[in-house]
Amino acid sequence: MTASSLSGARDAGVDGAVQGSVVATYLHGPALARNPALADLLLAWTVGHPLGPLKLTEVERLRGERLAVPRRRRGA
C-alpha cells in the first residue's frame, strides 16, 4: 500500500495513507475495532511477521451487519 493509493479517496470511504511504517488516518472513534485489517497490519509490524488467519464467524457476521447500516450524515 502506498500513500498515493489512499490519499484523496474520500468518495470510496477511505480516509488515510500508509507509507513505509507510517500510518496516517483520521482517528475518530474505534479505528482498530472497525478496521481489523489495520489492526492486523500493526500487530504484524509489532511481532515482525504476518499473523495467521483467525476465523471467528460470529464476529465477521456482526461486523458485516454493522457495516451494512447506513451512516448518519453530519447535520442530519
Report the SS3 class of residue 23. strand
What pLDDT, on the 0 to 100 scale, is given for residue 75?
63
Q: What is the pLDDT of residues 33-53, one digit of tens each?
A: 878 888 888 899 999 998 888
pLDDT band for position 9 (cuts 50, 70, 90)? very low
In order, the DSSP letters of 53-68 are P---HHHHHHHHHHHH
The fraction of the chain above a pLDDT of 90, given in percent, is 11
Site of grid cell 447500516:
69
Greater model confidence, 71 or 55:
55
pTM for this prediction: 0.50
The residue type found at 16 is G
